Amino acid sequence: MASSTTMISSNKDENAYSSNSCPNSLNISIPYGDTSIATDDKPQETQKANTHTTFDDDDDSVSVGVGDSDNDITTASKLTPSCSWKGTRMQEWTDKNISENLRFTLRVTLALTLGSLFVLCQSPNPNEAGLPDPFWVYFTAGITSFQASPDLGSVYKKTWQRFVGTIFGGMLGLGIGAISLLIPTTNYNDDDGSLSFMWHAIYLGVSQVILSFTIVYVSCYFGFRSHYSAMLGTITCGMALVAFHSSDNDNAWKTGVFRVINIIVGGIIGSLTSLIVFPVSTNHLIETKVKNLTQMTGSAVREVLETAGKDDEPSYKTLVLKPDTPDSAHDAYIKCIDSLHKVKELFPLLDYDPTFKRKTQDEKRKYVESWNLKLDRISHIQMSVVWLDNIIRSKLVGDDVLRVNLLRRVGQNIEKLFDLSSQSEKERNTTAIDMLNNDLPSIRREILRTDEQRRSRPSLTILDDPAVSTDAKIKDIGRFDDVGQANYVQKFIENQTDTFYRMVEILILRCIRQHHLN
């Protein structure tokens, strides 16, 4: 590869989507300093109206495809859903007109209302027979309906885990508790012959400690520390066990059994409300979160590039020691990184989503491959953003003057490129072409200028000073990140303005490559 270009490493499986595999594309390769773009004879208006872009990792060329190509990447948003048209339209209408907060409120309200019926339908007269401990239905229904993720995969998974944990814990607690019925309750040392439950209580208490310790430790040992089965199994076991602390043996057994049944009923009520009241498929939830993550990433890029040239940006030491320090750029990309991990946590729930199970194996594979490819490319963009932010905060550009207006324009264009809500596909394609025609050549001219500037100035770092001992250098380097001042940084690192612009170039290419999948 020529020295005037920069290679961006990426996964090799993405090479299949390069410009070389698009027969109907017009190939664009822009070396540093070259402001012209070689295109075919088609009018520029036609190119802007129907284009798509890809980036080839092998030859650093960006392809802007005109028209349809048989080798286009099939993204999840372009796949035909297996669910009915009516269900899809209903989901879209719900997302647009009913907020998630209102849907969540309706689910919890319905669950608590149904749970309260088991209490209100009982006679308040204690002498009349009724359902023992009906409050556990209400309590369990409320706890179950308060779920952090209301998607179908999460609901089905947690419902199954609750059922298994409740049955296992309930049977274990009832079995151990039933043994307490064999313990005599008469204290023969008491002259009046009154009943004493001391040994009865000791047995139940010791059993509670042993069972709780065993279930929790075994769950942690096998990696089920936060598993719903372990949690519900431990709690239900204890609740069934302490129900036998009663002077009425028949009523104790009945209370223990109905406690387990009431917990199961409450769990079913809470789960059904999540499945009935505006359910959200895990497939749709992942699509929505990937879209939001893309837009958040575009905003984070703009925030970071707009900090270039500012002298009042807090250092990393300040952000660590004073977490409340306001910094929109740092908060923006940290939020993006957290969101990326949260999206990945949803993938295992697809195995429990009934709507996703109905898809063919080929459809499932295409969905997962598309999401993984998008998230992988977004993670590469996030790494570029973090590196750019590090250069800015660590004052690695020294006393060089950055082209603030150019960087601000690049950030704004990337934000528009990733704005999937308010920007149409045609508008985003136009933005991508503008970045190729204007932003990328300008950045590459800055790379040439700053690279020549760095090579022409003498090195003044102490690493090249033979008078400074190695121990002194190591000691000072150990405080490198703690200081973050320009006069200190320049002791060790030369101005990295050319490196900064090279990373901006890589960022532009990665964003255009990601745009092709949106």
> Does one domain contain both 270 and 309?
no
Q: What are the Cα distances from residue 407, in Å, to 182, 296, 305, 402, 488?
A: 81, 18, 6, 8, 26
Give a yes or no: residue 92 inside a domain.
Answer: yes
Give a yes or no: residue 46 inside a domain.
Answer: no
Q: Is the pLDDT of residue 133 over 60?
A: yes
Q: Could you read off the pLDDT of 60-99 as tens digits, one per residue?
A: 444 433 333 334 445 555 554 444 434 566 666 766 677 7
Give a yes or no: residue 255 inside a domain.
Answer: yes
Q: Could you read off the pLDDT of 320-358 as tens digits, one per residue?
A: 777 777 888 888 988 999 999 999 989 988 888 888 888
**Distance in angstroms (rounded) separating the CA atoms of residues 205 and 212:** 11
Among residues 276, 306, 333, the one where a domain terminates is 276
Query: Which of helix, strand or coil describes residue 144?
Result: helix
Other residues' Cβ atoms within 10 Å of the Cβ of residue 178: 16
Confidence label for 22 from pLDDT (cuts 50, 70 and 90): very low
**Distance in angstroms (rounded) separating the CA atoms of residues 497 and 456:** 14
62-66 vs 51-55, strand pairing mode? antiparallel
Task: Describe the crossing of helices 198-221 and 228-242 by its angle, rounded to 10 degrees.
Answer: 170
pLDDT confidence of residue 321: 72
> Does one domain contain both 509 and 417?
yes
Residue-range definition of the domain harbouring residue 507: 282-515
Give a yes or no: residue 410 inside a domain.
Answer: yes
> Does one domain contain both 424 and 292?
yes
Give a yes or no: residue 71 inside a domain.
Answer: no
Query: Which of helix, strand or coil describes residue 231?
Result: helix
- Spacing of C-alpha 489 from chain mean position: 35
Segments in 121-222 forming alpha helices (H):
135-145, 152-179, 198-221
Among residues 234, 260, 276, the one where a domain terminates is 276
The token pair at 433 is 């072409």
> Does one domain contain both 417 and 438?
yes
Give a yes or no: residue 145 inside a domain.
Answer: yes
Q: Report which of residues 272 and 47 the model is more confident about.
A: 272
> Does one domain contain both 90 and 237?
yes
Q: Could you read off the pLDDT of 159-203 as tens digits, one per residue?
A: 888 888 889 999 999 999 888 888 776 554 555 545 567 788 888
Give a yes or no: residue 320 inside a domain.
Answer: yes
> Does one domain contain both 270 and 322?
no
> Does one domain contain both 387 and 449?
yes
295 touches 420 (CB < 8 A): yes
> Does one domain contain both 286 and 271?
no
Domain count, the chain: 2
Q: What are the Cα distances from residue 272, in Å, to 164, 170, 263, 346, 352?
A: 17, 22, 14, 20, 15
Q: Report which of residues 279 and 263 the model is more confident about.
A: 263
H or E stretch at 83: none
Among residues 241, 261, 276, the one where a domain terminates is 276
450 touches 498 (CB < 8 A): yes
pLDDT confidence of residue 340: 93
Q: Report which of residues 73 and 241 the model is more confident about.
A: 241
Q: Report which of residues 300 and 482 the model is more confident about.
A: 300
Query: The whole model's pTM is what?
Result: 0.69
> Does one domain contain both 238 and 380?
no
pLDDT confidence of residue 11: 40
> Does one domain contain both 230 and 173?
yes
Q: Is the pLDDT of residue 29 over 70?
A: no
What are residue 185's phi and psi, to 5 degrees?
A: -110, 10
Spatial neighbors of 418 by CB under 8 A, at least 6 apart, are 294, 295, 297, 298, 299, 301, 511, 514, 515, 518
**Distance in angstroms (rounded) separating the CA atoms of residues 457 and 293:** 42
> Does one domain contain both 332 and 227?
no
Give a yes or no: residue 245 inside a domain.
Answer: yes
> Does one domain contain both 385 and 466?
yes
pLDDT confidence of residue 82: 43
